[in-house]
Amino acid sequence: MARKRANGEGTIRKRADGSWEARYCVDGKRHSVYGRTQAEVRKKLTEVSVTIDHGDYREDSGLTLGQWLNMWHRDYLGNVKLGTADTYEMQIRVHIVPALGDVKLSALRTPMIQRLYNRKREEGLSPKSIKNIHGCLHKALDVAVKIGYLSKNPSDNCILPRIEQAEIHPLDTPELSKLLAFLKGHEHEALIVTAIFTGLRSGELLGLTWDCVDFENGLIRVTKQLAQPRKKGEVFRFATPKNSKPRTIAPAPTVFQVLKKHKQNQEAQREAMGPAWDDGGFPGLVFTHPDGSHLSQPTAWKILHKILVAAGIDAHRFHDLRHTYVVSSIRAGDDVKTIQQNAGHFHTGSLRTRHRHHAEGKREPHGKVHRRVVKR
């Protein structure tokens, strides 16, 4: 009686064209590997047998990495934000597919991926950008493992370049005093003051609507941001805040005083514009152009730059206003947890290490920038 062939056990034969073939069975299904020499196919057969013995065997899906990434992006990103999916698409199209797209998914190995990361570093890509590429590829390969296309994730053991924490540049106390004095009565006073005394990100500021400003109770609800188009054909849209976590904050009364005056001015502008007032599909925005249309992040940056130049203050990024809020809060004696929640910042350690040395030994003359945080 013929013995049933065990999983991975195979036979080797020479084919008519001079190449060699090793045949083996897995769970009753026949498979083959090919090579130019008997030694080559014997080695491949041994590798298959070891893989089967370890329980790591996966039937080849036949897909290239590029094909799998397209499938993953199309079918497996239903739980991520649109902006995140767009970012993954860019990583795939610009960085991963040109280098590794033609490699069979089953043949992808850690050294191939490591060489990609090393080459990107040599081309001048930042460590943060390489980390983003890795994050996209690693997530896609994790799904391939879960559905049985791979036995393990070949990107698991890649070494990423170290990310150096960027130096922050908040406004110092003299600059802050000078800026606040200059802003009195300025057309963009409300935008800049709200940024300084709430710590809102620029997208959150530009997406803030009047229904989220509670004058009676002194609260601001941060429920959305105005998202910039990421590629041709896209338009501005409301999106959830970063980390998808809405929050409610209670800024100092000064903020609401400025916002009340700003609202009166905006209503006067709207009345003067009449039918020409156009919110562009974003009704109720707090910060707009005089015709009611929304601002963009580059526009907000330009507004700040012009103000700083006119006030005789060194250049700062718009994001530096957020750092200014954190440093001012620390100087005012607010606890880190409260600052963290108000700013929508979910890494307390970085708040301590990146901002504390800017605040140590310096008392904030403007008082606390907020009263409390209100959890939703």
Q: What is residue 215's predicted lDDT score, i.e. its pLDDT?
A: 97
C-alpha distances out from residue 109 to 54, 62, 105, 155, 250, Å: 18, 16, 9, 8, 52
CB neighbour class for 310 (10 Å; exposed up to 12, middle 13-18, buried from 19): exposed
Burial 89-125 (b: 16+ CB within 10 A, else e): bebbbebbbebbbeeebbebeeebbbebbeebeeeeb
Q: What is residue 341's predicted lDDT score, i.e. its pLDDT?
A: 74
**Is a pLDDT exceeding 70 seen at residue 13?**
yes
Phi, psi of 303 (to 5 degrees): -60, -50
Chain segment 127-161, per-residue pLDDT in tens: 999 999 999 999 999 999 999 889 899 999 999 99
Q: Which of 119-123, 192-196, 242-246 has the lowest mean pLDDT?
A: 242-246
Structure-model confidence comparison of residues 203 and 31, the more confident one: 203
Phi, psi of 247 (to 5 degrees): -150, 160
Report d(CA 294, CA 343) in Å as an integer: 23
Top-tier CATH class for 65-146: mainly alpha
In sequence order, the 6+-apart residues with CB closer than 8 A to the CB of 19 are: 34, 35, 36
pLDDT band at 364 (very low <50, low <70, confident <90, very high): very low
**Is a pLDDT exceeding 70 seen at residue 330?**
yes
Chain segment 218-240, per-residue pLDDT in tens: 999 999 999 988 777 889 999 98
Which of 169, 176, 223, 218 is CA-nearest to residue 196?
Answer: 176
Q: What is residue 371's predicted lDDT score, i.e. its pLDDT?
A: 46
Query: Per the confidence metrics, is the pTM higher than 0.85?
Result: no
Residues 191-203 have a mean pLDDT of: 94
CA angle 283, 219, 205 (to 5 degrees): 45
**Is a pLDDT exceeding 90 seen at residue 121?**
yes
Percent of the chain with pLDDT over 70: 82
Residues 308-325 have a mean pLDDT of: 92
Does domain 173-374 fall under CATH 2.60.40.10? My reply is no
Q: What is residue 7's predicted lDDT score, i.e. its pLDDT?
A: 45
- Whole-number average pLDDT of the chain: 84
Q: What is residue 218's predicted lDDT score, i.e. its pLDDT?
A: 96
Based on DSSP, count helices (H) and strands (E) in the chain, helices before strands: 14, 9
Q: What is residue 374's predicted lDDT score, i.e. its pLDDT?
A: 46
Phi, psi of 13 (to 5 degrees): -145, 155
Q: What is residue 9's predicted lDDT score, i.e. its pLDDT?
A: 52
**Is a pLDDT exceeding 60 seen at residue 77?**
yes
Structure-model confidence comparison of residues 284 and 245, the more confident one: 284
Q: What is residue 284's predicted lDDT score, i.e. its pLDDT?
A: 96
CA 198 to chain centre: 22
Residues 306-320 have a mean pLDDT of: 94
**Is a pLDDT exceeding 50 seen at residue 372?**
no
Asked if 267 and 277 touch (Cβ cutoff 8 Å), the reply is: no
**Is a pLDDT exceeding 90 seen at residue 58?**
no
CA 217 to chain centre: 33
CA angle 357, 359, 361 (to 5 degrees): 95
Q: What is residue 29's predicted lDDT score, i.e. its pLDDT?
A: 67
CA 135 to chain centre: 10
**Is a pLDDT exceeding 70 seen at residue 27?**
no
C-alpha distances out from residue 240 to 87, 199, 222, 224, Å: 16, 17, 9, 4
Burial 49-75 (b: 16+ CB within 10 A, else e): beebeeeebbeebebbbbbbbbbbbee
What type of residue is 13?
Answer: R
pLDDT band at 2 (very low <50, low <70, confident <90, very high): very low
C-alpha distances out from residue 87 to 73, 80, 92, Å: 11, 11, 9
Q: What is residue 6's predicted lDDT score, i.e. its pLDDT?
A: 45
Asked if 225 and 240 touch (Cβ cutoff 8 Å), the reply is: yes
Q: What is residue 245's predicted lDDT score, i.e. its pLDDT?
A: 83
pLDDT band at 10 (very low <50, low <70, confident <90, very high): low
**Is a pLDDT exceeding 60 seen at residue 242?**
yes
